[in-house]
Amino acid sequence: MRHAGHIVALVHQKMAQVIEPGISTKELDSIAYNIIRENKATPSFLGYNGFPASICASVNHEVVHGIPREDVILDKGDIISVDVGATYGGFIGDSAWTYPVGKVTPELQRLLCVTEEALFCAIKQMRAGNVLDDVSSAVEIVAKREKLGIVRQYGGHGVGRRMHEDPFLFNYKVGDKTQLKAGYTIAIEPMLNLGGDDVEVMPDKWTVCTVDQKASAHFEHTVLVTDGEPLILTQLEVKG
């Protein structure tokens, strides 16, 4: 799983380099596919429940599950969430990041910074002996402090040999006292909105958008519970 996560991190490293005005989301998908295949892994999303691409590319008010398209060209001031999974040796790494396209408004920059902060606050709670609600509450506290909407129909999940495993992880407190144990691997993924909480699925049956058409950000890491500090599996390994 650590190596699968490393491959996902390589994709995100490249996304940060190539995302700029004028590139299509289809081009981003092709780049991600090639990196995954070059590293002897398979794209976890491609064909998953019929999904037609290797990444989810969700622009501006699109929250998750956006389908990459040749005719979706990024423009200066957009934000784009890239969600990607890689399967290596039968195990999956899953991570999402929301990128600014060129210079964005201060309001959008705040959305990105706060959603990323929520992710890392949640990761700090991934300790043996804590419960799932500790992780969920960490996201909710940051979102409420900044008066951001919380996507309630979607959330994090266990991940390992399958993309979506138990438990489901809400991004707000629900009273889940499931205890975390060393060896658990969970994809934590806060999705926060500039507007309200409500989202809807588009006619393509995949793309999820905010009902009020206001921007949404999505940050996700696959995290391992250990006997000590939480271990993020979907970031670049430091050699040496």
Alpha-carbon gap, residue 59 to 43, rounded angstroms: 21
> Is residue 69 one of the residues assigned to a domain?
yes
Confidence of residue 238 (pLDDT cuts 50, 70, 90): low
> Is residue 212 one of the residues assigned to a domain?
yes
**Residue 201, domain CATH:** 3.90.230.10
- What's the pLDDT tens digit per position in 175-224? 999 999 999 999 999 999 999 999 999 999 999 999 999 999 999 999 99
Domain that holds residue 164: 2-232
Number of domains in the chain: 1
Sign, CA dihedral 189-194-197-198, equals negative
> Is residue 155 one of the residues assigned to a domain?
yes
- CB count, 10 Å around CB of 205? 9
> Is residue 238 one of the residues assigned to a domain?
no
> Is residue 239 one of the residues assigned to a domain?
no
Alpha-carbon gap, residue 3 to 232, rounded angstroms: 12
Tell me what percent of the residues of the chain surpass a pLDDT of 70.
Answer: 98
Residue ranges with strand state E in the chain:
42-43, 55-59, 62-64, 79-88, 91-100, 149-150, 156-158, 165-169, 185-188, 191-193, 199-201, 208-210, 216-218, 221-224, 231-232
pLDDT at 236: 87
Alpha-carbon gap, residue 66 to 29, rounded angstroms: 11
> Is residue 153 one of the residues assigned to a domain?
yes
The reported pTM is: 0.96
Give the mean pLDDT of the chain: 97
> Is residue 143 one of the residues assigned to a domain?
yes
